[in-house]
Chain A
Amino acid sequence: AQSVTQPDIHITVSEGASLELRCNYSYGATPYLFWYVQSPGQGLQLLLKYFSGDTLVQGIKGFEAEFKRSQSSFNLRKPSVHWSDAAEYFCAVGPNTGKLIFGQGTTLQVKP
């Protein structure tokens, strides 16, 4: 079955600390992978996407993610977190048409 797992429901980091959000997927075909962010009361904004090529992808707001096929993972990272990064983060997989399978989401809290 196709699925996406975000093992961490809630993460708290201090401002300025590094961040890694985990994402594991199960998908039969070559996956197209996405990270979206949702601020409170808002829709989803695309942070970055992986379709092919370089397995380390850069996104907006200083985020990056690395595709590891052998581990079926697509973890999101940021070297230094800002208070404005507090939000809910969703990993998604699917064909590149918007018909996506989402993970459960990870809520990020940033301590001053």
Chain B
Amino acid sequence: DVKVTQSSRYLVKRTGEKVFLECVQDMDHENMFWYRQDPGLGLRLIYFSYDVKMKEKGDIPEGYSVSREKKERFSLILESASTNQTSMYLCASSLFQMNTEAFFGQGTRLTVV
């Protein structure tokens, strides 16, 4: 069964902390994505990666960075967490080939206080 696992369901961090959100997929997918979900705004793409050590900015990359050292793992990093980064974060993965869809993790609800 397809699986995208996010390491934490809930996180509470303090303003200014460096925060790591981890995502692992077991489907040997080339593509991995980080989305942010906010009420009334839907999901917005933060960063994505088509291969190991490759990354590309999405629509809202400011305040975030990513790391992909292994194919199955994609980390989202908040260099200095701020309260406006309180949100639900969703990781997804997909195959590089045509005619496929993205599979999502359960999400990490991050609260920055």
Contact = CB atoms under 8 A, between A and B. Distances in A.
Interface of A: 4, 6, 9, 34, 36, 41-46, 49, 51, 90, 92, 96-105
A100 B102 contact: yes
A97 B94 CA distance: 6
Nearest to A51: B99
B91 to A, nearest CB: 9
B94 A104 contact: no
Given A43-B90, A44-B90, A98 B102 contact: yes
B100 A99 contact: no
A34 B104 contact: no
Contacts of B61: none
Contact of B33 (A34, A45, A98): A98
B43 interface: yes
B106 A42 contact: yes
Chain A interface, DSSP helix/strand/loop, else mixed:
loop
Chain B interface size, as a band, is: 20 to 34
Contacts, number: 64
B92 interface: yes
Given A43-B90, A97-B94, A102 B44 contact: yes
A9 B101 CA distance: 25
Contacts of B58: 99
Given A42-B106, A90-B42, 19 more contacts: A34-B101, A43-B4, A43-B107, A44-B92, A44-B104, A46-B102, A46-B103, A49-B101, A96-B98, A97-B102, A98-B31, A98-B92, A99-B48, A99-B58, A100-B102, A102-B44, A103-B42, A104-B41, A105-B42
Contact of B101 (A41, A90, A96, A101): A96
B100 A97 contact: yes
